Amino acid sequence: MAEAGKKIAVVTGAGTGVGRAASLALINAGFTVVLVGRRLDMLQETQKLGGDASKSLCVPADMTDPASIAALFAKVTDTYGRLDLLFNNAGMGAPPVNFEDLPLAQWQAVVNTNLTGPFLCTQHAFRIMKDQTPRGGRIINNGSISAHAPRPFSAAYTATKHAITGLTKASNLDGRMYDIAVGQIDIGNAATPMTDRMVDGVLQPDGRKMPEPRMDAKAVGDAVAYMANLPLDANVLFMTVMASKMPFVGRG
């Protein structure tokens, strides 16, 4: 069981990229972090980077499998007895193909990972947070710049990130009576394996292919830690953290 005053966090997609950066920032901020992802070796690498192994727990889980998600939260309850923070971070995109050529199976895979997974995780977090003492907790959803403006050939990813915004608003409202604060961080061009392709150039709306600036993923991790450490009577409902010079604000 958790020590008195110890804050317990669950981070999905913790084995790489933003999930790893957020996990390390939360560990540094005093959380005990449950590192969740499909690949145990990557979770163990994050744990190693976090220093003291007692400050984290590796739990392999599949965000497209409801039983796997249920087992994850049962493990959290059995091990620590409470949950203070959930960072719904795990996500995926679809291959950049013409809209009409996107296979239904690929669409469904993105929806299952990016939307249904966070929905199920949030349900489990609600059940734990509303019944624990002290009551309440915080949930942070990983949105995206795509929650505001899409890239070409990104229908599945963009649709799910718009949907995450709806999930954030609805669950924030429904969690209010239980002292559960829900917020969203929208991220643009963090330097992770997912954005390596931007170095050589990515397709722009006008048809050109151009390199795009990126930022250190640590900036995102630090932002998540800031949101996580707020008292429950305060909440960041939406935050955008982006590479300063990426093409987002403006025209052309």
Please list the active-site residues: 157
Angular region, 62: left φ>0, alpha ψ -120 to 50, beta rest: beta
Decide if 86 contacts 69 (C-beta within 8 A): no
Question: What's the rounded Cα separation, in Å, for the pair 231 and 237?
Answer: 14
Residue type, 41: D
Please tell me what DSSP assigns to residue 9.
E
User: Cα–Cα distances in Å, from 234 out to 90, 168, 176?
Assistant: 25, 15, 12
DSSP bridge partners of 186: 240
Decide if 242 contacts 248 (C-beta within 8 A): yes
The neighbour count for residue 201, using CB atoms within 10 Å, is: 12
